[in-house]
Structure 1
Amino acid sequence: MTAPLRTIRICADDYGIAPGVNRAILDLLDAGHIDATSVMMLPKSLDADAVVALAAVKQRRPTISVGLHLTLTAPFRAMTTGQPFKPIKDTLVAALMRRHDRAVLDAEVRAQLAAFTERFGQPPDHVDGHQHVHLFPQVRDAVLAAIAEAAPSATVRQCGRAGSWAARIADRKGLVLDLLSIAFRRRAVRHGIATNTAFAGTYDFDADADFGALFPRFLDSLPDGGLVMCHPGFVDAELQRLDPLTGLREREYAYFMAEAFPRTLADKNIVLA
């Protein structure tokens, strides 16, 4: 019996972080092997050429989703104040303790959203967060309020997975995102903001991770309207300076460009949005 047709998105995060990442994402978008990317506004590698190149792909393939990858953690600096952000763990603890200054958060979120709109000539198609920071308490309220006002037609990424809770427990990182996404989805509904139905793509970024074996499993319980996060890229000095996720990006890129990838989608009766 043929599985029901499912339409999903595959979104490459971190466009703008480094030239090698930009090049890999553009390749995959142009080839039609992914259909979304999320853009970081703070790194210097989001230069004029990077914006023009992505806008050109969007013009050739208007159904792709180009969104804002809100960035609020180290090693980057705030657009509004120039001050360095704290590491992810410190940012999460401060959010859980409700220690962030909401006015400062509001200003930074709105500044990055406005910068995206100015540079690409339109609001983002979707919004998510680098290191999933948009799900954090306090941050989520600033994000949803800004989207409702400045980009009401944008979707926002929720990171709750499909499937039984028993099956989710083995992935501790994914479980944290599941729990944070419960409150996030409720708030998104109150703001009238659409979200993806379910999420996949988390794994332990160990050096020996087999992305080719992992990816088909991401699709097993993903429903229609689901989203898979990925991080393809080529390693260069700028990426090594800014992010610990390096070699695995090349492994992800190679998988998406290989013949096994479209066969996997076809076998599972999945098409891209």
Structure 2
Amino acid sequence: MSGKDLPRRIWLCADDYGLSPGVNRAIRDLIARGRLNATSVMVVGPAIGRDEIEALQHAAMTNPRCAIGLHATLSAPFHPLTMHFRPLDGGLFPPFAKLLRKALLRRLDADIIGAEVSAQLAAFAEKFGRAPDFVDGHQHVQLFPQVRDGFFVAIKQAAPGAWVRQGGRAQPLAQRLRSPKALLLDLLSARFRRAAARAGIAFNPAFAGAYDFSAAADFAELMAQFLDGLPDGGLVMCHPGFVDDTLKRLDPLTDQREREYAYLAGDAFPRLLAASNVTLA
């Protein structure tokens, strides 16, 4: 087989382990089936007790290619682990829009951010007995100005061997312009990559998986688009889950999680990987 015929090895990462029992159950099932090879854990989530950790570790034992990372969380409706985190909104992390606005205006404190990320890294190490394989961020907060500064300091201190997730894509500009959300991720990721390189922290070469999560979204079609042009080592983000009361209370993304799970668990997904000459790393 020539070099150009070798399959592209990618990461398919399910975010939000720890968000709810239904989300956890769906992620574990896909890991055990070999349909995922990464998940990132919310240590501030409500479904992150000992039983949920042990169940994830058991599922990962059946899939030794699976990486387990920290899903650093700095936005509502979750509580910080550190006592002096600021800004707060009713005792919670600020809403996503407020956090982004303060970051763009450079009204955050990188040291406070770094202390919270350090606390979440310590909580991960206490639960899993080791540092995470990688670190990303809930709602992509790790990409924000000032947030990324504290983020990198915390990782260098507590998880120097971990890689981090950037959100820049590999698609042509015409495709990138179709999605304002993904274009914002591209812009934020450019500086994130430069800062990671200066800090000596590894990151994924390309990213896919952002979409509007509407009920009309065809996840099978989207997955084909995500894989198109994704280079070796690229990462696709996904959000499979089963809807339960905890999820409905905490997150607006509900039914679409079940549609993602159904596609990833079905027969069409491995056929797409084979047709795209892609394998899970």
- Give the TM-score normalised by structure 2: 0.94
- Which ranges in structure 1 are unaligned for 5 or more consecutive residues? none
Return the match for 1:166 from 163, 174, 186: 174
User: Is the Cα–Cα contact under 8 Å of residues 3 and 268 in structure 1 kept in the other structure?
Assistant: no
Q: What does residue 33 of structure 2 align with?
A: 31
Out of 158-167 and 185-194, give the one that drifted further: 158-167
Deviation per residue, 1:188-235 (Å, 9 max, x gap):
111111111100001111112111111111101101110000000000
Correspondence list, 1:99-138, <5 A: 99-138=107-146
Secondary structure at the aligned position of 2:92 is classed as: coil
> Hey, what's the Cα distance between the residues in 1 that align with 2:64 and 2:124?
17
In structure 1, what is the equivalent of residue 43 of structure 2?
Answer: 41
Instruction: State the partner residue of 2:53.
Output: 51
Alignment CA distance shift 1:175-1:3 (3 Å): farther
Distance 2:114 2:11 in 1: 29
With normalisation by structure 1, the TM-score equals 0.97
Contact 1:70–1:129 (Cα < 8 Å) also in 2: yes
Report the number of matched residues: 273
Kindly indicate whether the alpha-carbon contact (under 8 Å) linking 2:76 and 2:96 is maintained by their aligned counterparts in 1. Answer: yes
Q: 227, 251, 259: which one pairs with 1:243?
A: 251
SS in 1 for 2:78: coil
The code of the aligned residue for 1:84 comes to L
Q: CA deviation at 1:12?
A: 0.2
Q: Which amino acid aligns with 1:28?
A: L
Q: Distance in 2 between matches of 1:143 and 1:208?
A: 35
Is 1:253 the equivalent of 2:261? yes
Alpha-carbon distance between aligned partners in 2 of 1:97 and 1:17, rounded to the nearest angstrom: 30
Gaps of 5+ in 2: 86-90
Q: Kindly indicate whether residue 91 of structure 2 is the aligned counterpart of residue 88 of structure 1.
A: no
| C-alpha deviation, 1:61, in angstroms | 2.5
SS at match of 1:252: helix
Task: Give the structure 2 partner of residue 67 of structure 1.
Answer: 69
Moved more, 18-27 or 162-171: 162-171
Distance in 2 (alpha carbons) for counterparts of 1:146 and 1:272: 29
Q: Which of 173, 184, 200 is residue 208 of structure 2 equivalent to?
A: 200
Q: In the TM superposition, what whole-angstrom CA distance separates every residue of 1:41-76 from its partner, at most 9, and x where no partner exists?
A: 111211111111111223332321100000000111
2:155 to 147, 152, 155: 147
Question: Distance between the aligned counterparts of 2:164 and 2:200, measured in 1?
Answer: 11
Describe the SS at the equivalent of 1:207: coil
Give the residue type in structure 2 aligned to 1:56: H
Q: Distance in 1 between matches of 2:67 and 2:42?
A: 14
Extract structure 1 runs of 4+ deviating beyond 6 A: none
Pair 1:179 & 2:187 matched: yes
Q: Is the 8 A contact 1:12 1:232 kept in 2?
A: yes
